[in-house]
Chain A
């Protein structure tokens, strides 16, 4: 188990290093530099800006400076919003995104695992068909379409929820404005995990050890709960990593549509604004969060699957 954690930790650090480097060099490959605009500024101004931000230093020096700053957690200043640092901006936006993300993960897991199980147990009956129908919709209809439909029905027509985000909201507004974004965000993941849980469950139920459990005289309920579930849940835990990734990318669209000032919104915005340090910082931040979360999921999985816990990695 320790070996496993160590392996994963090293991979994580190397990956973080790699993406920081790649992102840096990609950004600096953009022709024209960060201050080229549609209406070009005067050469003198550009020169002054370049000096201020050390953009006239040799590339390698910029790289090492940047990496050094990164290690200290400093993402640099924003080029668009003068006087504010990337850290500040991310710091402001991240909590909101995180809250919605966590809620979405919770809802996803709490709803789709039981749905998948029920679907498997009632294979080819109406529960299975209806859940699978919804799940299929969820994976074929793009997230932004689902969000649009939700907005159209619940905001425009019914007026139950607000479309526009209010920071520092209180009371019912503060809570209710989370609901639609959370549902829209979890649509795809919920559908995917429901289908995954169903097929995993079906697979497990056909296994020999389930037959053994029945031959011992266990009731069907106990067979499912105590033998099938523990095995069927494993692929779902593995999929938690990609689920979180999907939620992250979903956040770009959802935050734009609901005008939520989270890091997804900022990221998309910064691309339009050509705020290069912001783009760089957001990319690295996002990637880092995901890589770290994946690492944590791997560790959780290691604790659940005894084949890894005991250290016989060959069997796993």
Chain B
């Protein structure tokens, strides 16, 4: 086969056709944010949660009714223009009670998870850092805790301390906390101090892997750049995992609290969490199903949103999926 002889001249570097652009190197967080943005369901979920949280904070300032306001003439009304979710048997507006419920339930979810996180980080951090026999022993305890039905102890702790905490609130400076109330604080503490086990395990695992990496780096005597590597790669990985775990434990806390309230061991009247709203509604289920529907919907949507957003975060923050 004959060709134009010119085709056989060598090419200079500058004339080379190059395919593919070298992608600019970006940081872990930029990459994670990029990936999260692409995960549409997670974005929707995050938006929904934002709406719920903002609503919970701000709606009561604008709404004409309060959560404990009883309107005798408006008892047992089905949803209408004045009362978006209807009213209960005492004439209380269900919509605003659901919004207050959001405050209670969400705060429980978030505060309990943060307490879990704190205890878990301390316990897991110490266990992983010290290592050896101490670590072994501490993890044995964790294993034992894992096999116990912790819900029983949540209930027990609440029952045991609910009187004392009420007394403590009345006699000390804490009586100045208006909306919270002793019972709610107790629930924060109880939920937070029982469910830290999963967090501890995870943190310990991360600490162990950081430790091992550190030794490898030390062995190579990289000096200062070793720290940079730890900061740029290992710590973001750990923090990413922690963010995901916390996000995923919030719906669990909300679930647990609503369950407790439903059987009467959570917050009590007139304060309304979604669980206690559902509990009240159950009694009149046959005639007024909407009283149950709205709090139940609130719980489900919130839990679902947290789960989906958590999934999205997990994918976005997983270092193995970095492009």
Contacts from A to B (Cβ < 8 Å): 11, 14-15, 18-19, 22-23, 26-27, 29-32, 136-137, 139-145, 148, 151-152, 156, 241, 245, 248-249, 252-253, 256-257, 268, 271-272, 279, 283, 286-287, 290-291, 294
Report the 7 A-B pairs with minimum CB-CB distance, sorted nearest first.
A145-B296, A140-B304, A140-B303, A156-B286, A141-B300, A249-B151, A144-B262
CB pair A148–B296 under 8 Å, yes or no, is: yes
CB pair B144–A253 under 8 Å, yes or no, is: no
CB pair A144–B143 under 8 Å, yes or no, is: no
Question: Which of A144, A268, A283, A290 meets B282, CB within 8 Å?
Answer: A144
Q: Which of B161, B163, B263, B296 has the most CB of A within 10 A?
A: B263
Question: Which of B147, B151, B265, B275 meets A291, CB within 8 Å?
Answer: B147
Which residues on A sit within 8 Å (CB–CB) of B275?
142
Question: Please, how many angstroms separate the alpha-carbon atoms of A22 and B255 in the complex?
Answer: 26
Q: Mark B246-280, 1 if CB is under 8 A from A, else 0.
A: 00000100010011001111000000000100100
Q: Counting CB contacts under 8 A, is B164 at the interface? A: yes
Which residues on B sit within 8 Å (CB–CB) of A271?
155, 159, 264-265
Closest beta carbon of chain B to A196's beta carbon, Å? 15
Which residues on B sit within 8 Å (CB–CB) of A139?
307
Question: Which residues of chain B from 190 to 226 have a CB within 8 Å of any chain A CB?
Answer: none
Question: Which of A18, A145, A287 meets B300, CB within 8 Å?
Answer: A145
Instruction: Give the number of residue pairs across the A-B interface with Cβ within 8 Å.
Output: 103
CB pair B144–A11 under 8 Å, yes or no, is: yes
Sort chain B's interface into a size bin.
Answer: 35 or more
Question: Please, how many angstroms separate the alpha-carbon atoms of A30 and B160 in the complex?
Answer: 5
CB pair A148–B149 under 8 Å, yes or no, is: no
CB pair B148–A19 under 8 Å, yes or no, is: yes
Question: Please, how many angstroms separate the alpha-carbon atoms of A140 and B299 in the complex?
Answer: 8
CB pair A152–B300 under 8 Å, yes or no, is: no
Closest beta carbon of chain A to B199's beta carbon, Å? 17
Question: Please, how many angstroms separate the alpha-carbon atoms of A18 and B145 in the complex?
Answer: 10
CB pair A26–B296 under 8 Å, yes or no, is: no
CB pair A142–B299 under 8 Å, yes or no, is: yes
CB pair A290–B148 under 8 Å, yes or no, is: yes
CB pair B307–A26 under 8 Å, yes or no, is: no
Give A244's nearest chain B residue, CB to CB.
B149
Given known A-B contacts A151-B285, A268-B263, A145 and B164 have beta carbons under 8 A apart: no
CB pair A142–B296 under 8 Å, yes or no, is: yes
CB pair A156–B303 under 8 Å, yes or no, is: no
Given known A-B contacts A19-B148, A253-B263, A31 and B164 have beta carbons under 8 A apart: yes
Question: Which of B157, B286, B299 meets A26, CB within 8 Å?
Answer: B157
Closest beta carbon of chain B to A242's beta carbon, Å? 9
A-B contact pairs, 14 of them (CB 8 A): A30-B160, A136-B304, A139-B307, A141-B300, A144-B282, A148-B292, A151-B285, A241-B147, A253-B262, A256-B263, A268-B263, A271-B155, A279-B156, A287-B152
Give B307's nearest chain A residue, CB to CB.
A140
Which residues on B sit within 8 Å (CB–CB) of A26?
153, 156-157, 160
Question: Please, how many angstroms separate the alpha-carbon atoms of A271 and B151 in the complex?
Answer: 14
Which residues on A sit within 8 Å (CB–CB) of B255?
142
Which residues on A sit within 8 Å (CB–CB) of B300?
137, 140-142, 145
Question: Please, how many angstroms separate the alpha-carbon atoms of A290 and B147 in the complex?
Answer: 8
Q: Counting CB contacts under 8 A, is B289 at the interface? A: yes
CB pair B285–A148 under 8 Å, yes or no, is: yes
CB pair A145–B278 under 8 Å, yes or no, is: yes
CB pair A294–B147 under 8 Å, yes or no, is: yes
Given known A-B contacts A142-B259, A252-B263, A287-B148, A27 and B307 have beta carbons under 8 A apart: no
Which residues on B sit within 8 Å (CB–CB) of A253?
259, 262-263
CB pair A31–B285 under 8 Å, yes or no, is: no
Closest beta carbon of chain A to B198's beta carbon, Å? 12
Question: Please, how many angstroms separate the alpha-carbon atoms of A72 and B167 in the complex?
Answer: 38
Closest beta carbon of chain B to A283's beta carbon, Å? 5
Question: Please, how many angstroms separate the alpha-carbon atoms of A15 and B147 in the complex?
Answer: 9
Given known A-B contacts A15-B147, A143-B259, A283 and B264 have beta carbons under 8 A apart: no
Which residues on B sit within 8 Å (CB–CB) of A18?
144
Q: Which of A11, A26, A145 has the most CB of B within 10 A?
A: A145
